[in-house]
Amino acid sequence: MVIANAGVSRGTLTEHAEDAVAFREVMDINVLGIVHTFAPFIAPMRAARRGALAGIASVAGFRGLPGASAYSASKAAAIEYLESLRLELVGTGIAVVTICPGYIATPMTAGNPYPMPFLMKAERAAPLIARAIARRRRFYVLPWQMAIAGRMLKLLPRPLYDFAFAHAPRKPRRSD
């Protein structure tokens, strides 16, 4: 079993040219980190005809979030990469599991200046994630309330989503 849990988040705005470095960093870690973590394990797992690859994405990948465009884009890319990989490995004995947490109380979320609905402690999230991987769930969202909210947000028509989230609180940009 290999778990790719690479993840960084930074407040980013495309209009600031200096944020291009942050965009690259977030994409490299959150997407290519998964690719590079899995790559050396696929051939041996394929030869053994068993194994599990689990990638940690995020509900932030379901819809774009203002001020978090790099993070949302990276997690959307991670979700689609994991789906593609799962299809590529059908029949090999290798399971690909996509985990999409909502807000988990970690150092990454500690500085968020906005409400985080259904915030879950890492100690509670870890066994749920482990169980989803052990059961080889293709796609798992936690907590369950975020699974429902995420599905509803994906179904929301773009004009309504734009109206609801255009002025939502944002992760602050960092100058470094």
Which of 12-16, 39-43, 83-87, 135-139 is least confident?
A: 12-16
- Taking only the tens place, the pLDDT of each residue in 29-62 is 999 999 999 999 999 999 999 999 999 999 999 9
Under DSSP, is residue 52 helix (H, G, I), strand (E, B) or coil? strand
- Report pLDDT for 112: 78
Asked if pLDDT for residue 161 goes beyond 80, the answer is yes
Q: What are the extents of the domains in the chain?
A: 2-165
What dotted CATH number matches 2-165? 3.40.50.720
Mean pLDDT for the stretch of residues 82-95: 98
Burial environment of residue 147 by CB neighbours within 10 A (0 to 12, 13 to 18, 19 or more): middle
- Report pLDDT for 118: 93
If residue 39 lies in a helix (H) or strand (E), which one and from where to where?
Answer: helix 33-48
Which positions are catalytic? Answer: 71
CA distance linking residue 137 with residue 167, whole number of Å: 35
Under DSSP, is residue 60 helix (H, G, I), strand (E, B) or coil? helix
- Report pLDDT for 10: 81
The full DSSP string for 98-153 is EEEE--EESHHHHT--S--TT-EEHHHHHHHHHHHHHTT-SEEEESHHHHHHHHHH
Tokens of 6: 């690479």
- Band the pLDDT of 67: cuts 50, 70, 90: confident
CA distance linking residue 122 with residue 116, whole number of Å: 14
Tokens of 54: 């689990």
- Report pLDDT for 170: 77
Reported pTM = 0.91
CB atoms within 10 A of CB 163: 11
- Report pLDDT for 175: 56
- Taking only the tens place, the pLDDT of each residue in 115-142 is 888 999 999 999 999 999 999 999 999 9
By the 8 A CB rule, do 142 and 131 touch?
no
